[in-house]
Amino acid sequence: MSDFRQRVYELTRQIPEGKVATYGQLAKLAGRVKAARAVGVFMRTNPDAPHTPCHRVVSFNGKLTGYSGRGGILQKREMLISEGVKFLGDRVNLQESLWVTQQQ
């Protein structure tokens, strides 16, 4: 596993319940600002779910994009709501639910 991929998974495990991160945010924190799509691939092929909570990663605008777990995006939404993530319509309310780290 590449160092970048490993770092993305480490960061994903730090996202607390009730918060989300964006693909771009994780890419930036892991050292590759323009690698948001690669982060998406890593989430889709996450070998360690649910220990690495890929359902807590969303698009830059709060939209729920792919989820390879059983139930797809509907299940992802239900999981996030059960954890306390706030929504505005069909998107995560990033003003309330975005994970903010001291590294940013």
Note the pLDDT of residue 70.
Answer: 85
Question: For residue 26, with 0-12 CB atoms within 10 Å meaning exposed, 13-18 middle and 19 or more buried, which class applies?
Answer: buried
Treating both helix axes as pointing N-terminal to C-terminal, what angle do 3-14 and 36-44 enclose, rounded to 10 degrees?
Answer: 70
Helix (H, G, I), strand (E, B) or coil at 23: helix
Domain-located, residue 104: no
Domain-located, residue 78: yes
Note the pLDDT of residue 52.
Answer: 96
Give mean pLDDT, residues 78-88. Answer: 97
User: pTM for this structure?
Assistant: 0.94
Domain-located, residue 103: no
* CATH code of the domain in which 36 resides: 1.10.10.10
The domain of 88 spans 3-97
Per-residue pLDDT reduced to its tens digit, 19-67: 999 999 999 999 999 999 999 999 999 999 889 999 999 999 999 988 8
Contact between residue 30 and residue 7 where contact means Cβ atoms under 8 Å apart = yes
CA 1 – CA 7 distance, rounded (Å): 10
Domain-located, residue 75: yes
Domains of the chain: total = 1
Note the pLDDT of residue 104.
Answer: 60
Domain-located, residue 58: yes
Domain-located, residue 71: yes
Q: What is the DSSP string of 35-91?
A: -HHHHHHHHHT-TTTTTS-GGGEE-TTSB-----STTHHHHHHHHHHHHT--EETTE
Q: Which residues are catalytic?
A: 54
